Amino acid sequence: MRILSAETLSKQYDSRVLFSDVSFGIEQGARIGLIGVNGSGKSTLLKIVAGQELPDTGQVTLRSGTRIAYLAQHPTMDPGITVRDYMFSGAGERRHLLGDYEAVVALLRDEPENSAALARLSKLSEQLDAIGAWDAQAEVEAILTRLGVTALEQRLGELSGGQRRRVALAQALIEPADLLILDEPTNHLDADTVDWLETVLGRMSAALLLITHDRYVLDRLVQHTWELDGGHLYQYVGGYSTFLEQKLARAAQRTADAARHKSVLRRELAWLRQGPQGRGTKQQARIDRINALREQPEPGPERTLTLTPIAQRLGTRVLELEQVSRRYGDRVLLQELTLSIGRGDRLGIVGPNGVGKSTLLNLLAERDQPDSGSVVRGETVHLAYYDQESTALADTMRVIDYVKDAAELVRTADGQLVTAGQMLEQFLFPPQMHYALIGTLSGGERRRLYLLRTLMFAPNVLLLDEPSNDLDVQTLAALEGYLDNFPGTLIVASHDRYLLDRTVDQLLVFEGNARIRSFPGSYSAYAAARREQPAPNVRPAKQEVQREPTRKVPAERPRSLSFKERKELTRLEERIAELEALQAELNAKLNTALPYDALQQTAETLSATGAELEQTFERWAELAAIAEGTA
């Protein structure tokens, strides 16, 4: 049974068209994931469906009696009301009936024999039973506690942005609804809470329409994947994995359509140049078709975001923390933490909100200082930090000037010079947007721009603090592809289980109260180990977290390179350049429409190239250290 129909929806802001002639229907119990690059109009479409905004053209029709609960990406909340009041402010029917019930009970205290009041009380009890209102208070407290909000009498203005967002999510979850609309519900949640939310949503009978960057949620929860691309809505059956397969087929079809379009046009123009005899009905109809074909836009390739590999070489010594402690007031976040991070390490940081993950990143980035202990950087470290504060971008600054502030030109891994404008186009900022003011960008576009600027610094050590927040699935996929071939050191704090599985091979688990544990493996391996036993193969990090150093035979004095080793060092540098160029070529090839077999073969070649590059770097670093007299 269809509960919602949308017909020929269109929306634009100023001269920017978000989408046009979009039509769809939502069936009872359907589970739909909406994806698309930032700025494509996803959040706007959800607002229109939820009745929060009007389309320029078209209409949305609800089946009679359909109830909608909606979580906005940036909820509007009165800072002066309490958490409790906000939680029940959307529960109109429930709150109204409970208020009537309490009023009748108060009346019966004074008039216990009032037959009309007794009848009204009985009726209200039946209605409250029917909607499960008696358990509302307990349900509210349970959900808020699970989301990390325990003070129901606290005013919303006293909460952090992340806490307010979680209160808004809780309200959407308890609101009786036939259609639940969620815009990025996993933002500001830790990985454990995302697991819980996934379970809660999976048990609901309501239809679900959500925007999320969490690929595991998309794969496990949704039955239909919709993509907003180029102003059009494409509808696929299945979760994220199935969507990727179908999108690959659509990309191949677009390539074939473009080739066929050119072929037909070439043939028809040749006929036209021959000068068709006469102007009969058939000839004139053919000429009309040719003119229409010439005016018809050629089917273009899929819009894809590419990240050009950029990095500087890195020595063996990267980041070392020795007995580091940090506290804020009475809260101890880090206590005597010793940690050694080497070249090529890929470290994930996980744990609940507010336990010190960002504090550690700020210390590594030298934006904060420890209360005691030391943080030491290697001399070759060129660090860039993608934090959560991209909202501080200057609204009056132009997009291209913001990128040029980092670098006007960068040299890619294959030795090519790329301009700031070219990098903007790779990041799906077309030339007409380069001189737009940052204040005109959507929240997701601002995050994408901030990511570009971070990478323009050409770092060899990259710190990422919750990179998934407000980034679209396509940008995240491109970022993960970039990180696959990133030759430097990566440290990422994230709640995104998919991103962690893709990009890191060891974890620091923050448990609170300055307890930090290490786990050698992916997030999924850690989650599985934790399910099997209370304390998986982890060890406390309070005393020390570092791998055993490679033991070297002590030398009486530094030695110099032999003639053979100097020649080898030169050959290694040449081979590194060749492998980096090959990596860039293979990455570019993966962004084209390839048959599945060719795609798989290219991916395998890319993996083998990356492995060889890593081994070559290892040997280069060893010989370079000797040459520098540091072996």
pLDDT averaged per 10 residues, the chain (length 631): 94 89 95 91 95 95 94 90 79 66 83 89 86 71 85 85 89 90 91 90 94 90 92 90 77 64 59 54 57 53 57 82 91 92 94 89 94 93 86 84 88 76 85 90 87 88 90 84 86 93 93 90 89 56 43 47 76 81 73 58 73 74 66 46
Cα–Cα distance, 627 to 631 (Å, whole number)? 8
Name the region of 485 (left: φ>0; alpha: ψ -120 to 50; beta: rest). alpha
Cβ proximity of 45 and 19 under 8 Å: yes
Helical pair 115-130 and 92-110, crossing angle rounded to 10 deg: 150
**Residue 531: C-alpha distances to residues 171, 197, 355, 512, 534 (Å):** 29, 17, 22, 19, 7
CATH architecture under which domain 2-242 falls = 3-Layer(aba) Sandwich (3.40)
Residue 124's CB is within 10 A of a number of other CB atoms, namely 19
Cα–Cα distance, 342 to 328 (Å, whole number)? 28
Residues paired with residue 34 on neighbouring β-strands, in sequence order = 211, 226
Residues paired with residue 374 on neighbouring β-strands, in sequence order = 322
Q: Is the dihedral of CA 372, 373, 378, 381 positive or negative?
A: negative
Rg for the chain (alpha carbons), in Å? 29
Q: What pLDDT was estimated at residue 291?
A: 58
Q: What pLDDT was estimated at residue 550?
A: 35
Instruction: Label residue 596 exposed, middle or buried (CB < 10 Å: 0-12, 13-18, 19+).
Output: exposed
Relative to beta strand 506-512, strand 515-519 is antiparallel
Helices (H), 70-160: 83-89, 92-110, 115-130, 136-146
Cα–Cα distance, 629 to 563 (Å, whole number)? 16
Cα–Cα distance, 36 to 305 (Å, whole number)? 12
Q: What pLDDT was estimated at residue 556?
A: 45
Q: Is the dihedral of CA 411, 416, 418, 423 positive or negative?
A: negative
> Residue 35 corresponds to which tokens in the numbers above?
């994806």
Cα–Cα distance, 448 to 37 (Å, whole number)? 10
Residues paired with residue 554 on neighbouring β-strands, in sequence order = none
Q: What pLDDT was estimated at residue 210?
A: 95
Distance linking the first and last C-alpha atoms of the chain: 72
Q: What pLDDT was estimated at residue 269?
A: 56
Residue 543's CB is within 10 A of a number of other CB atoms, namely 10
Topology of domain 317-540 in CATH is Rossmann fold (3.40.50)
> Residue 588 corresponds to which tokens in the numbers above?
């570019």
Helices (H), 8-91: 42-49, 83-89
**Polymer length in residues for the chain:** 631
- HEC readout, 387-429: CCCHHHCCCCCEHHHHHHCCCCEEECCCCCEEEHHHHHHHCCC
- Report the Cα 341 to chain-centroid distance in Å: 25
Cβ proximity of 216 and 241 under 8 Å: no
Residue 450 dihedral angles phi and psi, to the nearest 5°: -65, -40
Cβ proximity of 274 and 287 under 8 Å: no
Nearest 5 degrees, angle CA 330-CA 336-CA 339?
130
Transcribe 438-495 into DSSP letters. Answer: GGGS-HHHHHHHHHHHHHHT--SEEEEESTTTT--HHHHHHHHHHHHT--SEEEEE-S
> Residue 597 corresponds to which tokens in the numbers above?
């077999």
DSSP assignment, residue 545?
A: B
Global pTM value? 0.66
Residues paired with residue 346 on neighbouring β-strands, in sequence order = 490
Relative to beta strand 346-350, strand 489-493 is parallel
Q: What pLDDT was estimated at residue 129?
A: 81
**Residue 607: C-alpha distances to residues 259, 313, 427, 485, 602 (Å):** 31, 20, 24, 9, 9
